[in-house]
């Protein structure tokens, strides 16, 4: 069996959509059973581009930073397997028309990325004021799954509900998806807000995130990548590592380090400081990622 | 037989007392409760500074003038939704002194992130 096929393609070819894999079928099935990656690959995580944000003191290059990131990703030695944007593609506006302007402006720049596949996710700035309606018009569903080289990816939406809840319907959808998987399967969750209580004082939490973590806990090889906090951050909950990425418009202070959460002003001596993107690498036969962080220069 | 009836009568009486108690907790408490009225609207609380005394029961009475907001004070373990057209009450007996920030945790618009305040508890 060709290990390059993703699960959906495989199911389609084999004509057994929805049927659990028999053992010894190679590719995704083999890798999923052992909890390891089928073949080396890496993807790129970009986050919190806040297209439409404008404050010269915070980022005088508010129109250029995302373009710089796109150029930097296109300059990588080899192209990523795919790219994910973990939310806050655009900056909040109360005006539905302007929201669409911003999302389309963002989309046009992101279209310059050289990658086979780009996966988009909403942040609360994109989706919380209209329950993800505008986001869906541009980028499709706010939650979905896909498979790559034995890794099962799950994009979870914890922002379309303005109370920052995943919601019972989506939790049932998650439980249903997980039910089909072997406990050894390497699972990678992509989301915008942290699923755990990182710093609820600054809204750095998901109201029912603990329920998602509980559903994921029986699986031994789970990794979560998220955005929202505009800085690199790593935390374990049980055996699940959670990795926050830097943003591409403005950095935010460390949780609780200052009385009030506010963007860190631009430092002319160190332009683009705190902004960057990430490259998680999956190595064949292993079940963890090695992370490489790239600054914007 | 008689004792069963008596038992039944006693249970009914007990339930009535419990129900009455649930309806009038303020009257039954020996300490007078402070009532703090807070109005929420895009994108502020008024007042945004609440002063309480440690160990003294208080009721924070919240109303929203426009849309659904939230009130979340993790430091004191307080949180509620504030739907418009309704008064929402939070009862608190602060067990520690200090300054405890609160914020709106329902994403409510362009100024949402500035919708914050503090509860100051003194000894
Ligand atoms: Cu609010």
Predicted confidence at residue A286, as pLDDT, reads 81
As a whole number of angstroms, the distance between CA B98 and CA A253 comes to 22
User: How far away, in angstroms, is A232 Cα from ligand 1 center?
Assistant: 27
Instruction: For residue range A168-195, list pLDDT tens digits in order.
Output: 999 999 999 999 999 999 999 999 999 9
Considering only CB atoms, A201 lies closest to which of B81, B103, B112, namely B103
What is the predicted pLDDT for the residue at A38? 77
Tell me the whole-structure pTM to 2 decimals. Answer: 0.84
Model confidence pLDDT, tens digit, residues B48-97: 999 999 999 999 999 999 999 999 999 999 999 999 999 999 999 999 99
Given an 8 Å threshold on Cβ–Cβ distance, is B74 in contact with A128? no
Residues 35-74 of chain A whose Cβ lies under 8 A from any Cβ of chain B? none
% of chain A beyond a pLDDT of 90: 83
Average pLDDT over residues A107-125: 95
In the predicted model, is pLDDT for residue A243 greater than 80? yes
Q: What are phi and psi of A264, to 5 degrees?
A: -80, 125
Q: Which one is predicted more confidently, B28 or A289?
A: A289
Q: Note which residues in 125-184 of chain A have CB less than 8 A from chain B.
A: 128-129, 159, 162-164
Q: Does B30 touch chain A (CB under 8 A)?
A: no
Cβ-Cβ contacts under 8 Å between A and B: the total is: 37
Using a CB–CB cutoff of 8 Å, tell me whether A206 touches chain B.
no
The reported pLDDT for the residue numbered B34 is: 87
Q: What is the mean pLDDT of residues A32-60?
A: 90
The pLDDT assigned to A204 comes to: 97
Nearest CA in chain A to B118: A259
- Chain A interface disruption, residue of B107, B114, B116, B119, most A CBs within 10 A: B107
What is the full DSSP assignment across chain A? --TTS-HHHHHHHHT-TTPPPPTT--HHHHHHHHTSBSS-EE-EEE----BT---TTT-TTTTTHHHHHHHHHHTSSS--S-EEEES--B---S-HHHHHHHHHHHHHHHTT---S-EEEE--HHHHTTTTTHHHHHHH--SSEEEEETTEEEEE---SSSTT----HHHHHHHHHHHHTS-TT-EEEEE-SS-SS-SBGGGTBS-TTHHHHHHHHTT-SEEEEEE-SSSS-EEEEETTEEEEEPPBSS---PPTTSSSS--PPPP-TTSTTTTBEEEEEEE-BT-SSEEEEEEE--
Q: Which residues of A touch B75 (CB under 8 A)?
A: 201
Q: Flag if A203 and B105 touch (Cβ within 8 Å).
A: yes
Does A162 sit within 8 Å of B107, measured CB to CB?
A: yes
User: Does residue A124 sit at the B interface (CB-CB below 8 Å)?
Assistant: yes
Round to whole Å and give the CA distance between A58 and A252: 11
What does the pLDDT read at residue A273?
97
d(C-alpha B49, C-alpha B112), whole Å:
17
* Partner-chain residue, chosen from B75, B101, B106, that has the shortest CB–CB distance to A163: B106
Does the pLDDT of residue A72 top 60, yes or no? yes
Mean pLDDT value of segment A188-207: 96
ipTM of predicted assembly, 2 dp: 0.81
Mean pLDDT of the B36-44 span: 97
């Amino acid at each position: 069996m060709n290990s390059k096929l993703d699960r959906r393609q495989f199911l389609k070819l084999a004509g057994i959509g929805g049927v659990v894999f028999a053992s010894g079928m190679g590719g995704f099935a083999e890798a999923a059973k052992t909890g390891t990656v089928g073949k080396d690959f890496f993807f790129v995580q970009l986050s919190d581009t806040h297209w439409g944000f404008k404050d010269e003191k915070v980022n005088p290059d508010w129109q250029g930073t995302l373009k710089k990131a796109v150029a930097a990703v296109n300059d990588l030695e080899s192209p990523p397997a795919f790219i994910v944007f973990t939310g806050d593609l655009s900056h909040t506006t109360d005006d539905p028309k302007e929201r669409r302007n911003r999302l389309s402006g963002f989309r046009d720049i992101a279209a310059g990325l050289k990658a086979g596949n780009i996966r988009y996710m909403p942040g609360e700035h994109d989706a919380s004021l209209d329950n993800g309606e505008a986001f869906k018009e541009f980028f499709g569903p706010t939650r979905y799954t896909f498979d790559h080289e034995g890794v099962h990816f799950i994009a979870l939406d914890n922002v379309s509900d303005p109370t920052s809840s995943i919601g019972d319907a989506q939790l049932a959808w998650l439980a249903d998806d997980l039910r089909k998987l072997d406990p050894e399967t390497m699972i990678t969750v992509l989301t915008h807000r942290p699923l755990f209580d990182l710093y609820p004082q600054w809204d750095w939490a998901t109201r029912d995130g603990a329920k998602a973590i509980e559903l994921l806990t029986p699986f031994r090889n789970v990794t979560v990548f998220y955005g929202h906090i505009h800085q690199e951050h790593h935390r374990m909950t049980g055996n699940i590592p959670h990795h926050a990425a830097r943003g591409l418009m403005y950095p935010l202070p460390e949780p609780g380090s200052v009385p009030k959460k506010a963007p860190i002003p631009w430092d002319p001596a160190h332009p683009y400081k705190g902004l960057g993107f990430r490259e998680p690498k999956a190595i064949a036969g292993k079940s963890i990622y090695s992370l490489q962080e790239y600054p914007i220069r | 037989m008689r004792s069963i009836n008596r038992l039944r009568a006693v249970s009914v009486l007990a339930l009535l007392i419990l129900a009455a108690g649930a309806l009038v907790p303020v009257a039954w408490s020996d300490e007078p409760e402070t009532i703090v009225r807070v109005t929420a609207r895009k994108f502020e609380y008024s007042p945004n500074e609440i002063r309480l005394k440690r160990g003294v029961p208080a009721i924070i009475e919240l109303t929203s003038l426009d849309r659904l907001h939230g009130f979340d004070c993790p430091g004191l373990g307080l949180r509620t939704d504030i739907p418009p057209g309704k008064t929402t009450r939070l009862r608190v007996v602060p067990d520690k002194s200090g300054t405890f920030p609160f914020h709106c945790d329902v994403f409510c618009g362009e100024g949402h992130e500035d919708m914050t305040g503090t509860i100051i508890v003194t000894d």
